[in-house]
């Protein structure tokens, strides 16, 4: 069960929870009901719901994961969204669709550039849009999968080798809480 | 003949939500002979981009089959979201076909 605490002064904490993938939609409903009560800057509520919904959609559609972990914290200054799954990881999800990423770093690059695992009909924009939104807010996005870690900040991507292989995909978004013209940025 | 579909879910996140909607529309077409479907979004608070993408793909297919699908009671910010995604999809299609034409 999720434990959500709304504290005074617009501070909102959500405990890190491990959720079955079948319950992701229910989890989003709970999160949405709680954070709608917060007095967030213009466009920011939509930003948070967009990030979480896109990451949940990716987990549901591509990861073959059984479980996901979700952490959300929104204070007056900072928003942290950490979502991870225990699925097959980015590289394998591309390989299953016969898209060959030579390593985990390439798979992350594909995902951030909007390359889809789906047939052409304009898909694959979820992670790409999250990246653009995080950059617009002057925040950062970190993706980890397999042995690769990528940090996207100020229009730069920095890659790092991980010492220990990660199962699935982990996405962290850390942004200041401020106004954003969401519909101008989204693609 | 006009038929109505009303959503009970507050949030439409997954592509499968759009696919389930299309199954309902197809049933209306087959069972009731409907050629005009009205989808009532009054209960819906949020779409994900994934849902919108799949939804717009499906709408296109129904349009080609001559079935009119009308969207009703969409919140203004959700309509903006749909418009934005629709514009991007149209741009991608245009670029794709221009590229293919140059190559042939």
First to last CA, chain A: 34
Query: Would you place residue A8 in the very low, low, confident or very high pLDDT band (cuts 50, 70, 90)?
Result: very low
pLDDT-based confidence at residue A162 (cuts at 50, 70, 90): very high
State the total domains in chain B: 1
Cβ–Cβ < 8 Å for A41, A77: no
pLDDT reported for residue A118: 55
How much is the CA Rg of chain A, to the nearest whole Å? 16
Which has more pLDDT, B1 or A100? A100
Beta bridge partners of A5: A13
How confident is the prediction for chain B on average, in pLDDT?
Answer: 88
Mutate to test the interface with A, among B7, B43, B48 (most CBs of A within 10 A): B48
pLDDT for A7: 44
Q: What is the pLDDT of residues A30-68, one digit of tens each?
A: 899 888 888 889 899 999 999 999 999 999 999 999 999
* Cross-chain Cβ contact B14/A25 below 8 Å: yes
Q: Is the pLDDT of residue B66 over 80?
A: yes
| d(C-alpha A170, C-alpha A150), whole Å | 11
Q: Do A121 and B81 touch (CB under 8 A)?
A: no
pLDDT of residue B51: 92
Domains of chain A: 4-178 (3.30.565.10)
Contacts of B70 (CB under 8 A, 6+ apart): B36, B37, B38, B39
Closest CB to A25 among B13, B57, B96: B13
Of chain A, the percentage scoring pLDDT greater than 70 comes to 86
Closest by alpha carbon to A82, among A64, A68, A92? A68
Is pLDDT of A9 > 60? no
Q: What is the ipTM of this complex?
A: 0.83
Chain A contact for B86, CB < 8 A?
A: no
Question: Given this model, what pLDDT does residue A3 score?
Answer: 46
**Residue A151 pLDDT greater than 60, yes or no:** yes
Question: Mean pLDDT over residues A163-170, rounded?
Answer: 96
Q: What CATH number does residue B80 fall under?
A: 3.30.750.24
User: Which range, A5-19, A80-94, B35-49, B80-94, has the best average confidence (pLDDT)?
Assistant: A80-94
Residue A115 has pLDDT above 70, yes or no: no
CB contact under 8 A, B48 and A60: no
pLDDT at A166 over 90: yes
In this prediction the pTM is 0.88
3-state class (DSSP) for residue B12 = strand
Do A25 and B80 make contact, defined as CB atoms within 8 angstroms?
no
Minimal CA separation from B48 to chain A, in Å: 6
A22 pLDDT band (50/70/90 cuts)? very high
pLDDT at A177 over 50: yes
Instruction: Quote the domain boundaries for residue B79.
Output: 2-103
Better pLDDT: A164 or A98: A164
Which residues in B lie closer than 8 A to residue A57 (C-beta atoms)? Answer: 13-15, 48, 50-51
- Please tell me which of A50-54, A114-118, B32-36 the model is most confident about, judged by mean pLDDT: A50-54
A140-153: strand order across its sheet: A4-6, A12-20, A67-74, A78-85, A156-176, A140-153
Phi, psi (degrees; rounded to nearest 5) at B100: -65, -40
A2, pLDDT greater than 60: no
């Amino acid at each position: 069960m999720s434990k959500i605490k709304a504290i005074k002064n617009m501070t909102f904490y959500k405990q890190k929870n491990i959720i079955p993938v079948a319950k992701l939609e229910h989890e989003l409903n709970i999160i949405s009901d709680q954070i709608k009560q917060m007095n967030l800057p213009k466009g920011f509520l939509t930003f948070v719901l967009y990030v979480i919904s896109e990451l949940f959609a990716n987990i549901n559609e591509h990861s073959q994961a059984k479980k996901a972990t979700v952490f959300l914290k929104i204070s007056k200054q900072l928003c942290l969204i950490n979502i991870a799954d225990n699925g097959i990881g980015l590289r394998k999800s591309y390989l299953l669709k016969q898209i060959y990423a030579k390593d985990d770093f390439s798979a992350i690059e594909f995902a951030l550039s909007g390359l889809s695992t789906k047939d052409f009909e304009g898909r694959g924009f979820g992670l790409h849009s999250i990246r653009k939104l995080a950059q617009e807010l002057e925040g950062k996005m970190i993706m980890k999968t397999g042995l690769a870690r990528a940090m996207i900040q100020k229009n730069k991507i920095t890659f790092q080798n991980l010492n220990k292989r990660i199962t699935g995909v982990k996405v962290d978004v850390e942004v200041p809480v401020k106004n954003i013209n969401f519909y101008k940025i989204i693609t | 003949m006009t038929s109505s579909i009303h959503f009970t879910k507050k949030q439409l996140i997954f592509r499968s939500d759009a696919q389930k909607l299309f199954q309902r529309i197809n049933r209306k077409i087959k069972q009731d002979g409907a050629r005009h479907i009205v989808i009532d979004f009054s209960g819906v608070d949020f779409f994900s981009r994934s849902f919108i993408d799949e939804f717009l793909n499906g709408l296109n297919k129904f349009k080609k089959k001559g079935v009119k699908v009308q969207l009703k009671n969409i919140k203004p910010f959700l309509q903006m979201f749909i418009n934005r995604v629709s514009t991007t999809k149209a741009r991608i299609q245009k670029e794709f076909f221009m590229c293919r034409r140059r190559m042939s």
